[in-house]
Structure 1
């Protein structure tokens, strides 16, 4: 659904959605301004056009700080994805390893990011590495779960055929297991990408020297005078997460054209 950008009908629906979002935001802000003072209403929800004006006015600062947040999140996301993929492959190859690691993998996610971030930042005293580690932390779990499920969903008939033909262990993975796991892997990647950005921002809220989280805190400090900047930072954070999701979706469409949702629209030829 997110990939049919070239379809006229999809473009129409996108315009309708954007227009409805703009009208809804402006309507809520207008209602708040009716019952509150301008300062109180603006501090809760400013008009969307004011946010867009702040976005343009501070575009240089937002781009610079957004690049810092996105860069650290991307590094952590890549590291967490590689770790999750490696563990999923090892756990699928050895049942005893899956039984041993599964409780630790699940229990590691019981610690909330908002509680773990200040601990990690306080231990290593390096904002960049703290953001990378937290992004990797929220990434590896969905990758393991979805990839492992995909590896186990491989066709039994295909595996038996490869076994009967004397295929090597490597061939089992490259020709059957990994292709079967790709849809699950991309599901995990699409879940983890926005979370990696969010976790990096959480670390920045704990006192990092730069990043979107720092802009959020400084904007709140100045109250309604910088409320446009605050909401512009939030919108940029949302945009980074959405772009990451769409980019992974495009790669998924390219690498897994056999999936039903892609076959119905022409697979990878569109």
Structure 2
């Protein structure tokens, strides 16, 4: 897991990866400047040091707009996770419930986000709620699928043994089914977390008054003059998605320590 990054060997690989990205980016930008005018090359891919300079120069604006996007995405993500987990528990209760709801759950994902976002924004006429709804929309499906898979992974013999001892349905869920569903729940959440941020930005591209998407559109309007700001906004959105993923991974490690990948191997320290 990502906590291994704090170990010396993994830290070295992280530094190699960062340096490689820097060299590759600067090399590609340099090649573009060889074959294009400075304005054209910068509008396509500015030098990374220019992007980082813009990032720190406009940090207050980026942080303010990023908090708007992340805040709404987090609320929608939480709501989508709750909805997805609840539907997964409901569908696991009986086969006929799963067969009844599955077509509707799958059909709900047939509309692309880029097509649904302007419809939702046009109906709600509120950027905050539109971001929350779209973040919940992209979250609940992977949460349902992975949580339901975890609930189905329980051995029938274990459930039969608990029934033989006369345990209640609540005890079966708390002591057997829910622990089996947690790894799947976290897998769905890790998939959905970056998607929730992306869907919120898509809503902002449709005409929202604030957020990272608005910064992207305004930066594109000024062309090469604001190319560094545009890429700085992209880097911030990527960073928000990555931090969300790492945070959920940390919670997964704390709450599901029984998973094989979290157990110490050989003489390795936990």
Does the C-alpha gap of structure 1 residues 139 and 265 become closer, same or farther in structure 2, counting only changes over 3 Å? farther
Structure 1 runs of 4+ off > 6 angstroms?
none
Partner of 1:157: 157
| 2:237 counterpart of 1:227 | no
| Equivalence map 1:182-193=2 (5 Å) | 182-193=182-193
SS in 2 for 1:4: helix
What is the distance in 2 between the residues matched to 1:264 and 1:80?
A: 33
TM-score for the superposition, normalised by structure 1: 0.97
Partner of 1:215: 215
Which segments of 5 or more consecutive residues in structure 2 lack a partner in the other structure?
none
Which segments of 5 or more consecutive residues in structure 1 lack a partner in the other structure?
none
CA contact (8 A) 2:73 2:196 kept: yes
SS in 2 for 1:52: helix
| 2:227 counterpart of 1:247 | no
What is the distance in 1 between the residues matched to 2:72 and 2:82?
A: 16
What is the distance in 2 between the residues matched to 1:100 and 1:34?
A: 60
What is the distance in 2 between the residues matched to 1:165 and 1:210?
A: 58
Q: CA deviation at 1:95?
A: 1.7
Deviations 1:121-174 (A, max 9, x none): 000100000000000000000000000000000122221211111010001100
RMSD of Structure 2 on Structure 1 (CA): 1.0
Q: Which moved more, 1:157-166 or 1:104-113?
A: 157-166
SS in 2 for 1:111: coil
Partner of 1:76: 76
| 2:62 counterpart of 1:62 | yes
TM-score for the superposition, normalised by structure 2: 0.97
SS in 2 for 1:5: helix
| Equivalence map 1:31-180=2 (5 Å) | 31-180=31-180
Deviations 1:38-73 (A, max 9, x none): 000000000000000000000000000000000000
What is the distance in 2 between the residues matched to 1:82 and 1:131?
A: 17
What is the distance in 2 between the residues matched to 1:212 and 1:147?
A: 31
Q: CA deviation at 1:265?
A: 5.4
What is the distance in 1 between the residues matched to 2:52 and 2:251?
A: 31
Q: CA deviation at 1:97?
A: 1.3
Deviations 1:68-110 (A, max 9, x none): 0000000000000000000000010122111111000001001
SS in 1 for 2:235: helix
What is the distance in 2 between the residues matched to 1:138 and 1:201?
A: 13
Count of residues paired in the alignment:
268
What is the distance in 2 between the residues matched to 1:211 and 1:56?
A: 18
